[in-house]
Structure 1
Amino acid sequence: MNLTIIQLGIMHLNDCVDLDQKALNGLWSKSQWEKELTDPKRICLGIIELETKKLLGLSAAWLVIDELQITFIAVHPLYQRKGLGKFLLSDLIKRSKLLKTNYIHLEVKDNNESAKAFYKIMGFKTVGFRSNFYKDGSDALILNKEINNKS
């Protein structure tokens, strides 16, 4: 597969809604995606397969002063466990360093063992807990990664 990461914009709205539905059962509404894709303080990245132009993965994050808050990360179910999540998160970490942020934060369902293992491999540490965080009543773990901007 020939893949690239691009900055997503409003022209990708339907693809984002579709991938969200397939990967996470529609975590966000179309209007939420519209806001994510048009707000200049938000970063929306997508993994595109170059030959087909298909969106295979995407992430969204908010830049808040000197921190990056990852609000969404997903890979199409047919392409999971092929390194696309690592490709996407590594790009976000690289961008975070360029933006001179000090931390990256995210939440993950406390029962999502594969995601927790993935984030641990990527250098994230559990720093907190949110009770009843998700719309299905699940709890969330708060994870963060310190960004070393000294090098």
Structure 2
Amino acid sequence: MSSDTIHDAALDSALPELIGYGLKRSATAVTADAARVLEPMGLRITTFSALTVICTHPGVRQTDLAATLGIERSNSVAVIDALEKAHWITREREPADRRAIALRPTTAGVMRQKTARLALLGHEDRMFADLTAMERRELVKLLSKIKV
């Protein structure tokens, strides 16, 4: 039997017992599908995440956004630039601290975030269709216990 005819499941049969392997496989599939859903809306996972934080916390500082998303402050600049170029957010200097930049969503940004969120909820319904509502809640709870 050639390696071409061996099913992928047989090749990785020793790996599923490793939690990290299962998480990586699952995350790769979920992330790829989420990216596919967001792309027609001009968003990536990172820009959607940033827009969501800005919409739910208008006036968030650029440095706090980077920390919340777990990205380098320098990398957050490109994300913020993309959102600003799309007219979904604005940057404003904080009157009390002229060095600080506050990020605020525009009306178009709020609408885009809502549309994208609904699309991602549909994506999750498809990806996690085999889980009950209780299993989904438990999965979220368990994932939050992983030390990062």
For Structure 1 versus Structure 2, the TM-score category normalised by the shorter chain is under 0.3
Higher helix content, 1 or 2: 2
Report the TM-score, using the length of structure 2 for normalisation: 0.27
Select the structure with the greater relative contact order (CA < 8 A; seq sep ≥ 6).
Answer: 2
Q: Which has the larger radius of gyration?
A: 2
Report the TM-score, using the length of structure 1 for normalisation: 0.27
